[in-house]
Amino acid sequence: MIQRRSREGSTEPLALEVEGLTVTYGKEPALWNADVRLGRGSLAAVVGPNGAGKSTLLKAALGVVPRVSGRVRVLGEDPARRRRLVAYVPQRTSVDWDFPTTVLDVVMMGTYGRLGWFRRPGREERAMALGALEQMELADLADRQISELSGGQQQRVFLARALVQDAEVYFMDEPFAGVDAVTEQSVASLMGHLAQRGKTILSVHHDLATVPRYFEHAVLLNRVVQAVGTVKEVFHRGNLDRLYGGRVPADVPELAST
């Protein structure tokens, strides 16, 4: 359970509450009886081998995979009722990048939640989108087709879209995949700033070496949740050997000690 001390007497709901969650696509469960509780302001990495159910956990938190059993709450409600407060950065490889739309339009999609059904995005939303593109150093590419961008640039477009959404909870699926070192730094510090402002971040992260630098909390997942807690508590050699079946890369430099 990851929980920051809340104000005394406060009954503030958790950012994410997953209880006994089992998800199956075919025969084998992709997630088995998973429990994950994240307090608001958590900055958490989801770590585990390929096929461990990391993306599935995020999709369950978004309410877009069928649950066999279990319960998911985002800010105390069913995920379907929290869409407005949740930003999602999908795994880059899961997106069809050929759809004909400009970079600016993709980012403007992030503002739809605040507009409601009848208002179309206007000058204010456009300015917000351009501001977010600037923050991701993509302002020059605003009018380009999304399909023409490099992988790292596409990734940053999705991060810009999440930014304009001004969400409370951010689910990110490998946001660092394919970005260069400079962008990685700016994305990491952006996540840190969001968490400082009380936003909650749950991000699938592949690079074990940078987990202690970028995250405060970790969810160790391999179809079952093996451990959830602060990086200091759970991100150590013993747990990681168990998680990866003893195949932890030898050059992981910053493992917290057991």
Ligand X SMILES: Nc1ncnc2c1ncn2[C@@H]1O[C@H](COP(=O)(O)OP(=O)(O)O)[C@@H](O)[C@H]1O
| Closest distance of CB 29 from ligand X, Å | 9
Which range, of 45-53, 67-75, 109-117, 226-234, touches ligand X by CB under 6 A?
45-53
Residue list 16-35, contact with ligand X (CB under 6 A): 25-26, 30
Q: Of 51-59, 81-89, 189-197, 232-240, which segment contacts Mg ion by CB under 5 A?
A: 51-59
Q: Which stretch binds Mg ion (CB under 5 A): 54-62, 120-128, 150-158, 211-219?
A: 54-62
56 binds Mg ion (CB under 5 A): no
55 lies in the binding site for Mg ion (CB under 5 A): yes
Tell me if 54 contacts ligand X by CB under 6 A.
Answer: yes
Residue 156 near which of Mg ion, ligand X, none (CB within 5-8 Å, type-dependent)? none
Instruction: Based on the shown chain and the rule CB under 5 A, indicate whether residue 111 belongs to the binding site for Mg ion.
Output: no
Q: Which residues pair with 2 in a beta bridge?
A: 38
Minimum distance of ligand X from residue 6's CB (angstroms): 31
Residue with smaller CB distance to ligand X, 38 or 52: 52
Choose, by CB under 6 A, the member of 14, 15, 36, 52 that binds ligand X. 52
Tokens of 160: 């810009």
Q: Which is nearer to ligand X, 48 or 79 (CB)?
A: 48
What is the SS3 string spanning the chain? CECCCCCCCCCCCCCEEEEEEEEECCCCEEEEEEEEEECCCCEEEEECCCCCCHHHHHHHHHCCCCCCEEEEEECCECHHHCHHHEEEECCHHHCCCCCCCEHHHHHHHHHHHHHCCCCCCCHHHHHHHHHHHHHCCCHHHCCCEHHHCCHHHHHHHHHHHHHHCCCCEEEEECCCCCCCHHHHHHHHHHHHHHHHCCCEEEEECCCHHHHHHHCCEEEEEECEEEEEEEHHHHCEHHHHHHHCCCCCCCCCCCCECC
Output 138 or 225, the one with its CB closest to ligand X. Answer: 225
Among 14, 34, 56, 104, binds ligand X (CB under 6 A): 56
Residue 207 CB burial class (10 angstroms; 0-12, 13-18, ≥19): middle
Instruction: Answer yes or no whether residue 200 interacts with Mg ion by CB under 5 A.
Output: no
Name the site residues for ligand X (rule: CB under 6 A).
25-26, 30, 48, 50-56
Name the site residues for Mg ion (rule: CB under 5 A).
54-55
